[in-house]
Amino acid sequence: MDFQQLKTFLEVWRQKSFSRAAEKLRITQPAVSAQIRSLEKEIGERLFDRKGGKVTFTAAGRVFEPFAEHALGTQRHMLLMVAEQRHSARGEIAISAQESTSLYVLPEVFANFKRHYPRVGLKIVRAERSRTLEALLNREVDFGVVSLPVKDPRFVVETLHRDEVVLATPKGHPLTAMPKVEPADIVKHSFLLPKQGRQRDLLLNFFRMHDIYPKKVMEVESGELMKRFVIAGLGIGFLPGVNIAEERASGAVGVVPLESVRFARDLGLLYLKGKPKTRAISGFLEIALKGQRSG
């Protein structure tokens, strides 16, 4: 039994497919099958059932999985610790986050980190919340930045950023001239709604609570696209204040205060519990959370 067989076993489990595991590992499907057969021969039990085109664990496979994960984790930890004895912090850190978070929240963190750790590469993976959580669990990335709350006990969750979500309008929009804006006033105008995600759920719940709903709705894929649509006069929409700070200062976008409504957004920095902390990973945590902890 070797580490490559264990990696192949875990990849087949994650992908629920021999062919997809082969693609991920960049080897042929027959090579994947041969490694699993060799592992099963050594253990003396079948590890996977392959019936009806589906790949599932046998009872032996379920027992073997945590031991395989632990063995590979120990190997990674050993290699990292040995490397850190010989070298200064280097390598690569992968962070998964939404597009708007990557554009408006993280650049300062990245710049500060690179000043202190110039030999460590940063890989930025732009992904929606659910995909970020999946990538963390599959150990495809080191950190994820997502909206809170996250209650999965497998993660360590640190608050990274707090921001207020505001109602953004095009320049000169009628709502900006009103002395007081109520929820019922919002739905009279063309409204931009996120196509998916937690903010969409919060807004829909807000509409239900007030027994209202916009008459004209356009769904948009991302916060950045929503901002461009607001500037173009296509509608109004709720956006994190940090996303429109420059446009608000230049007058390209208006912000309507709502006395009876306030949306806050907390972003969390997540990583797996028990993950070995290299010098680079510990440094990134310290730099990313410095502002929150000092505040």
pLDDT tens-place string over residues 18-30? 988 899 899 999 9
CATH number at residue 76: 1.10.10.10
Q: What is the mean pLDDT of residues 256-283?
A: 86
pLDDT tens-place string over residues 130-177? 999 999 999 999 999 999 999 999 999 999 998 889 999 999 999 999
Q: Do 45 and 21 share a structural domain?
A: yes
Whether 262 and 73 have beta carbons less than 8 Å apart is answered as no
Q: Are strands 155-170 and 253-256 parallel, antiparallel or unpaired?
A: antiparallel
Burial of 68 (0-12, 13-18, 19+ CB in 10 A): buried
Range of the domain at 97: 88-161+266-294
Q: Do 221 and 198 share a structural domain?
A: yes
Average pLDDT, the chain: 89
CATH number at residue 255: 3.40.190.10
Q: Do 167 and 259 share a structural domain?
A: yes
Round to whole Å and give the CA distance between 178 and 109.
Answer: 39
Please check the confidence at residue 66 and state whether its pLDDT lies above 80: yes
Of residues 233, 121, 128, 135, the one with CA closest to residue 176? 233
Q: Do 271 and 138 share a structural domain?
A: yes
Q: What is the mean pLDDT of residues 40-56?
A: 86
Round to whole Å and give the CA distance between 78 and 222.
Answer: 41
Q: Is the peptide bond before 149 cis (omega within 30 degrees of 0)?
A: yes
Please check the confidence at residue 89 and state whether its pLDDT lies above 60: no
Please check the confidence at residue 286 and state whether its pLDDT lies above 50: yes
Percentage with pLDDT > 70 across the chain: 95
pLDDT at res. 137: 94
Q: Do 183 and 245 share a structural domain?
A: yes
pLDDT tens-place string over residues 188-201? 999 999 998 888 88
**Number of residues that this document lists for the chain:** 295
Q: Do 124 and 208 share a structural domain?
A: no
pLDDT at res. 294: 44
Q: Do 203 and 235 share a structural domain?
A: yes
Is the entire prediction scored with pTM above 0.75? no
Q: Do 109 and 31 share a structural domain?
A: no
Q: Do 207 and 93 share a structural domain?
A: no
> Which residue do the tokens 């929240």 mark?
105
Q: Do 149 and 275 share a structural domain?
A: yes
Q: Do 246 and 191 share a structural domain?
A: yes
Please check the confidence at residue 240 and state whether its pLDDT lies above 60: yes
Choose the final residue of a domain: 85, 110, 138: 85
Q: According to the 3-state scheme, what is the secondary structure of the chain?
A: CCHHHHHHHHHHHHHCCHHHHHHHHCCCHHHHHHHHHHHHHHHCCCCEEEECCEEEECHHHHHHHHHHHHHHHHHHHHHHHHHHHHCCCCEEEEEEECHHHHHHCCHHHHHHHHHHCCCEEEEEEECCHHHHHHHHHCCCCCEEEEECCCCCCCEEEEEEEEEEEEEEEECCCHHHHCCCCCHHHHCCCCEEEECCCHHHHHHHHHHHHCCCCCCCEEEECCHHHHHHHHHCCCCEEEEEHHHHHHHHHHCCEEEECCCCCCEEEEEEEEEECCCCCCHHHHHHHHHHHHHHHHC
Choose the final residue of a domain: 85, 114, 133: 85
pLDDT tens-place string over residues 71-81? 888 888 777 76
Beta bridge partners of 192: 218
Q: Do 253 and 185 share a structural domain?
A: yes
Q: How many domains does the chain have?
A: 3
Choose the final residue of a domain: 50, 85, 120: 85
